[in-house]
């Protein structure tokens, strides 16, 4: 597999992309790279015809009239398409420096993965997989991107990451609940059911963590959960009024125990350090008047002492207020007075 990987890179090294110039798909210059792509596909098919009990298919970039600037190989779960789905993508750098690999979503029909921003005005990835048009910009479609560089010496690390990425794809698609290739907190969850932002009932909580062999609850909270809290708290920390969005996290008031706890009234938007202190029980909120309570253990700190007895910012709509039962549980059972 390493030979074919390197041959694909070498093709682009020897045939660099020139703006506004393309290579016709019937050009004989493509014979070797087409052969390398097909052999790469055959080796992947031998290894991944079936994975975790799921049948997979593999597609390579062909191009219609012109050969694509960004060559790619995709491993597709059932009912997924390169143009509309979630799959493992192996995208080769447009200058032949290597490839980026990971669980990815369609650029034209995104599915809500927690993608990693690899390229922006301030970021320039070493492995660049953006093509010439908006439809072929692939740098920012990966949830767990990993770069592999030319000249690839062996395929152990590549196959290991493909395994993890496939498990993540199948998990995101709801086809598996557990995998030996995924560990707790390895990745972010990509989806959150709209049911999870319905009204929160403290008495309905059932600890279903033991039934979740793959526990993927990230520090920032699940994506839509955090996005909703950012919206209702006007992108401000409820305690410090910090407006640096990158530092704001979706905190669970009643600690995470499955989907029932992942509802907006059981969440509060907190700056990262406040979130940590809240989880440790060193900061709490009085359920009777929504005032901030700072533990005696940290009252010696002048900054946190200033927060003591001040009132939190509340959402504009009462149905989004922090749940009283959750606050009471935290105040009485977690907070270290």
Backbone angles phi, psi at 51, to 5 degrees: -140, 125
Q: Does the pLDDT of residue 283 top 60, yes or no?
A: yes
Q: Does residue 181 lie within any of the structural domains?
A: no
Looking at the predicted structure, is the pLDDT value of residue 61 above 90?
no
Asked if the structure places residue 202 within a domain, the reply is: no
- Look up the domain containing 132 and give its range: 2-172
The residue out of 110, 137, 172 marking a domain boundary is 172
Please tell me whether residues 117 and 50 are part of one structural domain. Answer: yes
Rounded to whole angstroms, the Cα distance separating 194 from 210 reads: 23
Let me know if residue 218 belongs to a domain. Answer: no
Token pair for 302: 């002048």
Average the pLDDT over 52-63 and give the result.
90
Out of 40-44, 61-65, 168-172, 210-214, pick the least confident.
210-214
Evaluate if residue 172 carries a pLDDT over 90: no
The span from the CA of 269 to the CA of 226, in Å, is: 8
Task: Report whether pLDDT(217) > 90.
Answer: no
Same domain, residue pair 6 and 98: yes
Residue 91 phi, psi dihedral angles, 5° rounding: -110, 125
**Nearest alpha-carbon partner for 216 in 253, 254, 259, 247:** 259
Q: Which residues pair with 291 in a beta bridge?
A: 311
At residue 148, φ and ψ (nearest 5 deg) are: -125, 130
The confidence score (pLDDT) of residue 298 equals: 92
Same domain, 168 and 37: yes
Element (H, E) at 165: helix 156-172
Whether 205 is in a domain gets the answer no
69 and 142 together in one domain: yes
Instruction: Using alpha carbons, select from 255, 273, 266, 272 the residue that is nearest to residue 324.
Output: 266
d(CA 189, CA 143): 10
Asked if the structure places residue 56 within a domain, the reply is yes
CATH code: domain of residue 89: 3.30.920
**Residue of 327, 334, 238, 253 whose CA lies nearest to 295:** 334
Say if residue 235 is in the same domain as residue 330. yes
Local confidence band at 186 (pLDDT 50, 70, 90 cut-offs): very low
Highest-confidence segment of 55-59, 192-196, 261-265: 55-59
Is the preceding omega at residue 61 within 30 degrees of 0, hence cis? no
The closest alpha carbon to 142, from 80, 232, 74, belongs to 74
Alpha carbon separation from 203 to 254, 329, 333 (Å, rounded): 12, 12, 16
Tokens 């919206």 correspond to 231
- State the residue for tokens 């000249």: 151
Does 101 map to a domain? yes
Query: Cα separation of 328 and 287, whole Å?
Result: 6
Q: How would you class 170 by CB atoms within 10 Å of its CB: exposed for 0-12, middle for 13-18, buried for 19 or more? A: buried
Name the band, by pLDDT with cuts 50, 70 and 90, for residue 119.
Answer: confident
Report whether pLDDT(302) > 80: yes
Q: Is 84 left (phi over 0), alpha (psi -120 to 50) or beta?
A: beta
Based on the domain organization, do 141 and 13 belong to the same domain?
Answer: yes
From the list 218, 3, 197, 252, the residue with the least C-alpha distance to 113 is 218
Q: Is the pLDDT of residue 20 over 60?
A: yes
Number of domains in the chain: 2
Size (the chain), residues:
337
Are residues 158 and 262 located together in one domain of the fold?
Answer: no
Q: Is residue 184 in a domain?
A: no
pLDDT greater than 60 at residue 106: yes
Residues in Cβ contact with 198 at an 8 Å cutoff, skipping those fewer than 6 apart: 263
Give the pLDDT score at 200.
Answer: 56
pLDDT at site 136: 80
The reported pLDDT for the residue numbered 141 is 92
Residue with tokens 């908006």: 134
């Amino acid at each position: 597999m390493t030979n074919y990987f390197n041959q694909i890179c070498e093709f682009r090294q020897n045939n660099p992309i020139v703006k506004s110039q393309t290579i016709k798909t019937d050009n004989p210059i493509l014979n070797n790279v087409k052969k390398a792509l097909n052999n790469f596909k055959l080796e992947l098919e031998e290894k991944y015809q079936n994975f975790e009990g799921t049948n997979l298919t593999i597609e390579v970039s062909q191009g219609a009239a012109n050969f694509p600037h960004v060559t790619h190989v995709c491993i597709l779960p059932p009912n997924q398409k390169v143009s509309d789905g979630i799959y493992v993508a192996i995208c080769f750098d447009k200058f032949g420096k290597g490839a980026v690999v990971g669980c990815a979503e369609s650029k034209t029909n995104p599915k809500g993965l927690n993608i990693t921003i690899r390229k922006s005005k301030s970021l320039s990835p070493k492995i660049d997989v953006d093509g010439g048009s908006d439809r072929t910009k692939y740098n920012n479609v990966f949830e767990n991107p990993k770069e592999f560089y030319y000249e690839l010496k062996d395929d152990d690390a590549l196959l290991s990451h493909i395994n993890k990425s496939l498990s993540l794809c199948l998990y995101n698609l709801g086809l598996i609940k557990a995998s030996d290739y995924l560990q707790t907190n390895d990745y972010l969850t990509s989806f959150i059911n709209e049911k999870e932002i319905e009204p929160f009932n403290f008495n309905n909580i059932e600890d279903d963590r033991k039934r979740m062999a793959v526990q993927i609850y990230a520090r920032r909270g699940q994506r839509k959960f955090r996005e909703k809290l950012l919206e209702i708290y006007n992108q401000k920390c409820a305690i410090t009024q910090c407006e640096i969005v990158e530092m704001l996290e979706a905190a669970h008031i009643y600690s995470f125990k499955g989907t029932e706890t992942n509802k907006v009234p059981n969440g509060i938007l907190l700056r990262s350090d406040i979130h940590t202190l809240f989880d440790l029980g060193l900061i709490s909120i009085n359920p009777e008047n929504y005032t901030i309570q700072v533990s005696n253990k940290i009252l010696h700190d002048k900054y946190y002492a200033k927060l003591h007895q001040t009132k939190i910012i509340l959402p504009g709509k009462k149905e989004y207020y922090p749940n009283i039962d959750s606050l009471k549980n935290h105040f009485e059972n977690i907070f270290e007075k």
